[in-house]
A and B are shown apart, each in its own frame.
Chain A
Amino acid sequence: MSAVIFNNVAKQFESSDSGTGLQRYAVQALTFEVGAGEIVAVVGKTGCGKSTMFNLLIGLIAPTSGHVEVLGHNPFGEFDRLRGKIGVVFQNDRLLPWRNALDNVAYGLELSKVPHDERYEAARGWLTQLGLSGHEQEYPHALSGGMRQRVSIARAFATHPQILLCDEPFSALDELTGATLRREFQTLVRETTQTSLFITHSIREAIELGQRILVFRAPGHVALEIDVQQALAEHGESRLKEIILEAMGDKPAAPDIHPS
């Protein structure tokens, strides 16, 4: 069963040269599926429609045409039906500055109407699991960048979402902090066995995390779909990276590339 379905989806926005009535496609003929429990990485260059796909999936915007389905619901039209079912880790932490670390982790649970004691017990547990025990009462401004991102990861996992979405969650961190957090995150994702969709700029990260990789190209469509284990077995890691780069449009296409 598919947890996420994009079927021939297009999304048009008015051109930044507003008033001209010109429309540009952020996403066009976007078709892919993510199976329940599957971990899928999405790679692509800046401006290839990854963020628009993300917003369509969360239900923040409606497609211009085509069909989006998340856990059997139209995410835009049936916004309320997905309450508590999607967890998101953003590129930056997006913590509410007026809430301390504990309250931030409990935020999604509060919106999902989880009883007070239950949600704070869960939030404390997640903070402990992410190494932030003792920092529960601290406000975001008092935490380091890495700690804030840990809080945001805890917030996403705390609701036990059926789908986990990650939008380049480590790209705003320094190399060392990002690497450490990436490892912990991988462990968490595998332990929780959620349906996960990662947007990343890092091909290495995509290969490490994803069971499948979707290579996006502008205007937002899937240029190449890769089964990671199979591709690694066939080509090896360095060749696979080259294949992905070529599909992204960073290198001229080699003869053995077969865009979907």
Chain B
Amino acid sequence: MTLDPRDAVATGGVGELVPAATEQAGAPMRQANLWRDAWRRYLQNKGAVVAGAAFLAFAAFCLLWPIMSPYDIKEDPVNFSEAYEGPSLQHPLGTDQLGKDLLTKLALGGRISIAIGIGATLAILLIGVVYGSIAGFVGGRLDNIQMRLLDALYGLPYLPFAIIVLAIIGTNNLWTMVIALSIASWFTAARIVRGQVITLKENDYVRAAKAVGARWYRILSRHLLPNTLGILIIAIFLELPGVILGEAFLSFIGLGISPPDASLGSMAQEGRAVYRVHPNMIVIPSVAVALLVLCANFIADGMRDALDPRTRETKEH
């Protein structure tokens, strides 16, 4: 096979690539090479790399900064004389209306928003995977019923249902937000998984496994799901922006995390009341949300391009 010259380019310490078509030609393709290939292609996408780095950096900041920070938002006393200060050496982003450090508050808010985002996304995937793989794998009448049900569920308006679910649960903490945001948005994931499972089911190696008598869970776990994994990872980063924005919107109308915890959305809502005099109070959390969303989008694009060569952009016009 002719080697595409692009594949021979190494980018920054990836390790061995697909080796030159010499000793290894003809050997069975292992999945590991698929991932390394994808990784390499991902790294070629400058936007995706920058986005990935930014996302990781922000997540690390949110995770670590509150631990390292000299301020403790929950324990420190309310200090009105230091309220609404601008950026300074002690407070790089300034302070809020109770005199608490904004940088630390941003990190804590980011923690919550990211946690809700990832939590809801994982929940969506979990439900979607379970539902979709059952439907796709079993097929027949069960599949039919499940798909009809899904059609019906599609009719549920997403945000109103999230609001109702939140009202039912009562308290608004991390877990309830995760539940509310995932409950009405797992349908597409289920469809994708089902579609994938159906396509892959007909593959030769699955048929072979069945012919040999492999149990269904073995087929599912060994063959079908790992191949779907790529799609699922992309799906994570595609769902993430929607969930983060959804959480921001819910917080904005007051249905978000209850104080004293704050998410980026609730910080933005509080900030809006004073935007005339202290615009940073709304701009900073909104920019943080935008950052997360943008990065997730670029990462998703990058991964999609990396894992599915067909959608790679043509170099000519």
A and B form one complex: no
